[in-house]
Chains A and B, each alone.
Chain A
């Protein structure tokens, strides 16, 4: 593994260092030069939030707690990624109030000066917690800011071993374009470091494969590919008709009289189904601000879907090319990016009584990094649900609804089937008015309410964060860290530190994203450079550090689509029976669901932990691919081989007397070394224990082959026959080129008289089903 270790290692871990640092003065207050600078934010998090606000005060001072009517309301991590900043602001506002010269935030919980506190005495004067409050108040008067020299990050990730630039390139390349980097690309990165990595990634992100992956990543959230099969998307358009004689889209079935109606219908449906994903691809490809996914006043059509909508005059470079999408406007629709596409509105539908709240929820989830349902994880009583408009009037309900309903109101112009149908009688008066955040939507904006919402929401920093969260999940397979909210949980404080560190890193990326005018490629380039993407091992972690780094590391089980691409990338052959056959990892009736994939319909969550069936999918893959590719690779000239450039089938590790053949053994080792790099991304020395292990496997299999070819067994007819024959199993013979089907003639390989091909098959099986091949 090519790796770089973080330069600093703290024997006792970052926690001890940070905690002790809190007793020190801040660096800009004249403290000793080597003392740790502790910012207001860190002090608040470690000494005030984690010790008392988040463990004691929040029990009552929350939106639904006993002190919900006070002006001191705290929020836990479920509130959103900036919950700590919000709580610091709340603390500060209370600290500015004084009673007889003492800050209210001290007087109240300590019941000082005869002041009552509904929650009784919670803060003893003179206690460590009280002192921490005092220190925090002093800091508010004299804010401590620390220079961002990356020291906090270096300290937090001390002891973590990171992939170097070249290994990072390999991982990113497989992830975003489904191929291995070329030797030239590797060399550029080797020479130019991370700066060059950015440049190479920029080039890769101009390839079509990147946009396929991008659509895949966003579909994991939107799930609009549910409508990709058959004519499901076109059916949605037809379902919008209120009057059969006056259809909304009269040309939906334009293709029925075409020469090849099935193909034209399929291309039409797929284009409509992919509108939101194609819009995302277009925005990124054209380096447009990513905010356009919410604000674009157009949708994307291809040659076929343009006809579905009856659009005239749409210009295509290659008419008939189903892959060419161009921006266009559907008359009568006030487009607002992905939100107004029929498939999006149907995938996230509403009902007359739901009043677009479900759509509001997904809007928060997809575009604002906020799961509003988590705000409702509190005991609800039946009495709260009864009554007049409880969503407006009952605190148990409106804790969510006051956020959800204004955004729901912005979807008012689109009905349950995604049809454009502004409410004739206006929007519901018993809901909080349409708007976003503190802003109420001006009524004159109602006709284009979603455009207004998209514009307002995309100004929110949470929009940038949500884009990072989606891409982070797509690239790493992990959800963003969420701070724990239960102080009794193991690793509570460590979890807060970990999520806070990630929040800071994501916030830095968000700033770069915004500074690049919301170019999503910036997000990709920045995420792959973070320790979250590159960490592959660590040393010297104690219990606290292990808890802090519990979610760190490259341990993602590849999704079926990624594994499919990787197999072809490294072996040159897909896992497909025949060149026109089924891609078994992608097909819903084959291994896709068994291997943890989704169908965007009823199976929408990927399995990330392997099970026994998935282990057998991997095993069969290793066996089939090694069978199909080993002999085939040997039919090529060494320079053209993907797998075995350093050996020939004639290279046997030992001679007839059992003595090693040094040249052959060395070449075999070299090829094993090459395979570890090519298949697993492991760059190992020739004497590395893992090279030895693989060599041992080769040697044992070869020896077993020698024994078996000399031995005889009795067959069913009672005849003595060789235990192993020279013949390769039928499907493992190389007789025709996979892609062209052309006979290989004299280059064909059907036999393996030395048992070396089968030894290499065993090695290839072993490596293809290895943990590191199946994970990135």
Chain B
């Protein structure tokens, strides 16, 4: 069933007719969950490098020919200094490179070597992805949805919509492309999250830590909730405008799983760290509580049109440190085999420096994946010396001919959907992917 047919059928059966959303049924979506089943499937996490990262500075290394190279691809390290672990080549940044002195001034502590040596056996690098755009919004959208145009949900929202949109933190987003296309609500957290979440986990208690401190008695709270559910259903049933019906159903869906938020309390650390590390802690805790299916981690500062090396390299190291921390936290919490971490950005950066020693937008990029379902120690795709995308054969051998097929984000997203067992799902029909030449997707993940 394609998206058009699905929407027609949905309309006839009283489901959504607002393309695309799953909230618009004439009746509310379902009865409140009576028994809660914690989510234990794959946790899908998209780590976004906002602004457009430079793969040639980490996973698709291309250095300067010499220190005197007048047009270096990267002035921060030499081609000869490129390192390799397993099948994965990476840049020598920052320690054993031309960047060493600057790294000391910037007090950089993390290194590419730490990351790649630690994770290469779990890591899949996809190089030479042709984004087909060098615009921020479009690039970020295609990276995380597999489509240049608007309207498709991010892969994180896609997973949440498929596996349990009623969970109170089904899709957490700290930024990046977070389009839900109406198939799952998005949750955001900030500030003093731990204190606030305590109160929100127990909205029926005056003191969250005292179960005897209800605003109402337990029985009365049940009566209120039941009346509310009844009214939501009546409002939806009597509503003729799809948009309002959709809004009522979204409210109902949100309420139906909200009671499970209290489970989060059991798993939250006493103190959240800052930045990506804090994001990772909260996501893993929510997953362990069984109330989170997917999340966006996000950090910015990669749009380095000026002074690229000094600005970009520290951000990359911070990003990889965040990824490292996320994987460690997952291991610490006993869910290391359950997480799927996807790393990407808007696009790549030009294979040359501009007049301000910055790098501008470039439509060729890379993505990295590790965790559940990923066969590690692999590099798929490639670029030439000028960081232009090389084509691939249907079996992913490099094909340097002009007419060879390029890797597009649609191929990657089909693979991700397949990893999640969703490539034939109803949502996949609603949000089809277009492959170059109209053919089959490339088997990026094997």
Chain A residues engaging chain B, CB cutoff 8 angstroms? 159-161, 351-354, 373, 376-383, 385, 485-486, 488-491, 535-541, 543, 546-547, 549-557, 587-594, 596, 599, 602-603, 605, 607, 609-617, 619-620, 623-624, 626-627, 689-690, 693-694, 696-697, 700-701, 704-705, 708, 724, 729-732, 758, 761-762, 765-766, 769-772, 774-775
Contacts and interface: CB of A to CB of B under 8 A. Distances in A.
A616 B17 contact: no
Nearest to B171: A611
Contacts of B201: 616
Given A352-B306, A697-B227, A609 B244 contact: no
A623 B203 contact: yes
A192 to B, nearest CB: 28
B360 A353 contact: yes
Given A609-B250, A770-B228, A729 B188 contact: no
A552 B204 contact: no
Contact of A550 (B18, B230, B250): B18
B203 A619 contact: yes
A694 B224 CA distance: 9
Contacts of A609: 23, 180, 182, 185-186, 250
Nearest to A482: B150
Interface residues of B, number: 98
B119 to A, nearest CB: 27
A593 B175 CA distance: 12
A379 B149 contact: no
B22 to A, nearest CB: 11
A612 B185 contact: yes
Interface stretch (B60-68, B88-96, B106-114, B231-239): B231-239
A353 B305 CA distance: 6
Nearest to A623: B215
B216 A620 contact: no
B190 A599 contact: yes
B355 A353 contact: yes
Contact of B362 (A382, A485, A589, A596): A382
Instruction: Point out which of A490, A607, A758, A766 has the most chain B C-beta atoms below 10 A from its C-beta.
Output: A490
B250 A610 contact: yes
A592 B437 CA distance: 47
Contact of B203 (A607, A620, A700): A620
B203 A616 contact: yes
Nearest to A556: B247
B19 A489 contact: yes
A404 B246 CA distance: 38
A543 to B, nearest CB: 5
A615 B240 contact: no
13 contacts: A160-B241, A351-B305, A352-B305, A352-B356, A382-B362, A543-B11, A551-B243, A593-B188, A613-B258, A697-B223, A701-B224, A724-B217, A731-B206
A603 B220 contact: no
Contacts of B134: 380, 385
Instruction: Point out which of B234, B235, B240 has the most chain A C-beta atoms below 10 A from its C-beta.
Output: B240
B241 A535 contact: yes
Interface stretch (B191-199, B312-320, B337-345, B409-417): B191-199
Contact of B206 (A551, A627, A724): A627
Contacts of B166: 612
A248 to B, nearest CB: 21
A706 B175 CA distance: 51
A134 to B, nearest CB: 31
Instruction: Point out which of A373, A537, A609, A626 has the most chain B C-beta atoms below 10 A from its C-beta.
Output: A609
Contact of B215 (A160, A541, A705, A761): A761
B223 A701 contact: yes
B79 interface: no
A385 B19 contact: no
B168 interface: yes
A638 B9 CA distance: 54
B362 A612 contact: no
A380 B188 contact: no
Contact of B200 (A160, A382, A539, A594): A594
Nearest to B199: A620
Given A547-B17, A689-B234, A377 B135 contact: yes
Contact of B240 (A541, A708, A724): A541
A603 B4 contact: no
B149 to A, nearest CB: 6
Instruction: Point out which of A488, A550, A627 has the most chain B C-beta atoms below 10 A from its C-beta.
Output: A550
Contacts of A599: 190
B132 interface: yes
- List of 5 A-B pairs having minimum Cβ-Cβ separation, nearest first: A612-B168, A555-B247, A611-B185, A620-B203, A538-B240
A555 B134 CA distance: 36
Contacts of B11: 543, 546-547
Contacts of A627: 206, 215
Given A539-B240, A612-B260, A775-B247, 6 more contacts: A547-B19, A553-B241, A603-B175, A616-B258, A704-B223, A708-B219
A589 B19 contact: no
A704 to B, nearest CB: 5
Contacts of B132: 378-381
B152 to A, nearest CB: 12
Interface in B123-166: 130, 132-138, 148-151, 166
A265 to B, nearest CB: 24
A536 B247 CA distance: 12
B122 interface: no
Given A382-B389, A761-B215, A617 B200 contact: yes
B404 interface: no
Contacts of A351: 305-306, 356, 358
Instruction: Point out which of A160, A351, A611 has the most chain B C-beta atoms below 10 A from its C-beta.
Output: A611
Contacts of A623: 203-204, 215-216
A724 B254 CA distance: 31
Contact of A766 (B137, B227, B358): B227
Given A537-B241, A550-B243, A620-B200, A729 B223 contact: no
Contacts of B276: none
B248 interface: yes
A619 B135 contact: no
Contacts of B187: 611-613
Contacts of B241: 160, 535-538, 541, 549, 552-553, 555
A382 B355 CA distance: 20
A696 B227 contact: yes
B327 interface: no
Given A555-B243, A758-B216, A607 B186 contact: yes
Nearest to A765: B224
Instruction: Point out which of A161, A610, A617 has the most chain B C-beta atoms below 10 A from its C-beta.
Output: A610
Contacts of A729: 206, 213-215
B189 A353 contact: no
A413 B335 CA distance: 55
B138 A376 contact: yes
A593 B227 contact: no
B85 interface: no
A182 to B, nearest CB: 28
Contact of B363 (A382, A551, A689, A690): A382
A609 B173 CA distance: 13
Contacts of A594: 188-190, 196, 200
Instruction: Point out which of A626, A724, A765, A772 has the most chain B C-beta atoms below 10 A from its C-beta.
Output: A765
A759 to B, nearest CB: 8
A373 B362 contact: no
Given A353-B360, A380-B363, A554 B230 contact: no
A86 B36 CA distance: 55
Contacts of B231: 690, 693, 770-771
A724 B214 CA distance: 12
B112 to A, nearest CB: 25
A611 B169 contact: yes
B228 A613 contact: no
Contacts of B137: 373
Interface in B300-338: 300, 305-306
